[in-house]
């Protein structure tokens, strides 16, 4: 068994520990929270003593452990084997909290109605511009309570850095970018690049948590926000991108399971029978990841024609040829501009601004030269190009 991937209540149940609202709820360090405004705040942002598998198995953490889990009896490490799933922790946790604080938080961070309207208009203007791999296009903040996890991920990794640029103050915008860059590095599929910058990503997330107390108030730093300090540990331990240890594939697969249920009587039995029938029929489940679907949507349309090549140049497809050949406008990274320069140059994570009059060379390339698909969104007198950091969101297209 490699890892347990589940949300906080499920982890607490399996490990027999305090839930995410407890004073000693952190699963990775011995920090003690305190009660304020009907919630537990993880006030201290300094590094605390880390929990270990050995001490957990010995029932040492009396303030943290509620009982003896059967997992310990079977020799399963209950600290390192349980992932802090970024779908729940970051997307449904931190990003959702940021947007709700912008919308109806304390005065220190709440945006005006004019600013919120501007954000919503910018988001809606990008509807239809995201690649076909996205199951949902951007929606207004008026529908925030109905946003799904993929939409919060979409805001963090693609639309947020663009739409927030001229709405937030410089200090708040850079603060958001530290979260964006830190998570982007941890999601990087290239092992060498991810390993090279993982300590930098950890320091960015630590800065984000520490600065949050000033920009949002100490009530912002709850369980999920505190856990940003520990995300890099999972990436180091499993030596993989966070995409490979997240709950997104399972969440996306729920739609397939729901379609197996025809009526309200015995739904679990219905699902079990349908899965058994698929197994007997030899139907294999295709894993949804970045590499599997990299060639699925290639066209000359602006939303599906931008790609990052293996040599880190950008290709804009103009015509599809025979034998998997593509006629493209090629942009060398040296000719592109940084979209932002703080807290680092955007080119560090292959994000560039391409002016409309930017000079490109036309070239014929093979599909095998493609590394990643990119999100290309219009901004001012050009486009911002952001490499995709996740795979297909839908299995039925």
Query: How much is the pLDDT for 397?
Result: 38
Domain identity same for 187 and 46: no
- Per residue in 78-117, pLDDT tens? 999 999 999 999 999 999 999 999 999 999 999 999 999 9
- Per residue in 160-207, pLDDT tens? 999 999 999 999 999 999 999 999 999 999 999 999 999 999 999 999
Tell me the pLDDT band of 304, cut-offs 50, 70 and 90.
very high
Whether pLDDT at 288 is above 60: no
Domain identity same for 274 and 319: no
Domain identity same for 133 and 221: yes
Lowest mean pLDDT among 2-16, 104-118, 217-231, 320-334: 320-334
Contact indicator for 88, 8 with CB cutoff of 8 Å: yes
Tell me the pLDDT band of 1, cut-offs 50, 70 and 90.
confident
Q: What is the CA radius of gyration of the chain?
A: 22
Query: How much is the pLDDT for 38?
Result: 87
More confident residue, 323 or 270: 270
Provide the β-strand partners of residue 82. Answer: 4
Domain identity same for 124 and 72: no
Tell me the pLDDT band of 390, cut-offs 50, 70 and 90.
confident
Within a domain: 164: yes
Percentage, residues of the chain above pLDDT 90: 80
- Per residue in 62-77, pLDDT tens? 999 999 999 999 999 9
Residue at a domain's end among 55, 82, 109: 82
Torsion angle in degrees (nearest 10) through CA of 254, 256, 261, 262:
140
Domain identity same for 240 and 99: yes
Residue at a domain's end among 82, 112, 147: 82
Domain identity same for 94 and 189: yes
Domain identity same for 195 and 55: no
Within a domain: 294: no
Assigned token pair, 294: 């990299």
Query: How much is the pLDDT for 46?
Result: 64
* CA quadruple 87, 92, 94, 99: dihedral sign: positive
- Please give the tally of structural domains in the chain: 4
> Cβ contacts of residue 313 below 8 Å, gap of 6+?
330, 331, 332, 333
Closest CA to 165 of 174, 156, 178, 157: 174
Whether pLDDT at 8 is above 50: yes
Domain identity same for 101 and 232: yes
Within a domain: 291: no
Q: What is the mean pLDDT of residues 331-347?
A: 93
Report the alpha-carbon distance of residue 294 to residue 297 in Å, rounded: 7
Domain identity same for 169 and 274: no
Domain identity same for 268 and 327: no
Domain identity same for 59 and 185: no
Assigned token pair, 305: 């024609």
Within a domain: 57: yes
- Give the residue numbers spanning the domain of 118: 86-245
Tell me the pLDDT band of 253, cut-offs 50, 70 and 90.
confident
Closest CA to 389 of 158, 224, 209: 158
Residues present in the chain in total: 397
Within a domain: 364: yes
Domain identity same for 30 and 63: yes
Contact indicator for 71, 13 with CB cutoff of 8 Å: no
Within a domain: 397: no
Within a domain: 295: no
When the pLDDT of each residue in the chain is averaged and rounded to a whole number, the result is 91
Within a domain: 41: yes
């Amino acid at each position: 068994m490699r890892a347990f991937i589940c949300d906080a209540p499920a982890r607490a149940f399996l490990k027999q520990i305090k839930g995410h609202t407890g004073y000693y709820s952190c699963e990775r360090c011995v920090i003690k929270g305190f009660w304020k405004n009907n919630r537990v705040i993880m006030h201290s942002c300094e590094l605390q003593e880390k929990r270990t598998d050995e001490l957990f198995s010995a029932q040492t953490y009396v303030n943290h452990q509620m009982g003896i889990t059967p997992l310990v009896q079977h020799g399963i490490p209950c600290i390192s084997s349980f992932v802090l799933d970024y779908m729940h922790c970051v997307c449904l946790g931190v990003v959702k909290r940021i947007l709700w604080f912008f919308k109806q938080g304390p005065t220190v961070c709440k945006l005006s109605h004019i600013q919120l309207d501007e954000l919503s208009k910018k988001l809606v203007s990008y509807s239809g511009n995201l690649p076909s791999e996205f199951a949902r296009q951007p929606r207004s903040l008026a529908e925030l309570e109905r946003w799904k996890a993929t939409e919060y991920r979409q805001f963090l990794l693609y639309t947020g850095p663009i739409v927030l640029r001229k709405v937030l103050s410089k200090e708040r915008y850079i603060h958001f970018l530290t979260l964006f860059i830190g998570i982007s590095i941890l999601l990087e599929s290239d092992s060498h690049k991810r390993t090279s910058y993982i300590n930098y990503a950890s320091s960015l997330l630590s800065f984000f948590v520490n600065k949050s107390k000033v920009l949002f108030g100490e009530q912002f730093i709850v369980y999920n926000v505190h856990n940003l300090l520990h995300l890099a540990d999972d990436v180091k331990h499993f030596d993989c991108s966070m995409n490979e240890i997240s709950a997104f594939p399972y969440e996306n697969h729920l739609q397939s399971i729901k379609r197996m249920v025809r009526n309200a009587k015995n739904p679990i039995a219905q699902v079990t029978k349908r899965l058994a029938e698929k197994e007997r029929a030899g139907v294999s489940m295709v894993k949804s990841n970045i590499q599997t679907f990299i060639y699925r949507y290639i066209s000359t349309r602006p939303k599906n024609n931008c790609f990052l090549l293996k040599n880190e140049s950008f290709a804009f497809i103009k015509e599809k040829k025979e034998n998997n050949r593509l006629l493209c406008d090629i942009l060398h990274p040296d000719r592109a501009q940084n979209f932002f320069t703080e807290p680092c140059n955007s080119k560090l994570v292959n994000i560039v601004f391409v002016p409309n009059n930017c000079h490109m060379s036309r070239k014929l390339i093979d599909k095998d030269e493609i590394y990643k698909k990119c999100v290309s969104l219009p901004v001012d007198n050009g486009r911002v190009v952001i490499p995709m950091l996740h795979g297909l969101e839908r299995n039925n297209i």
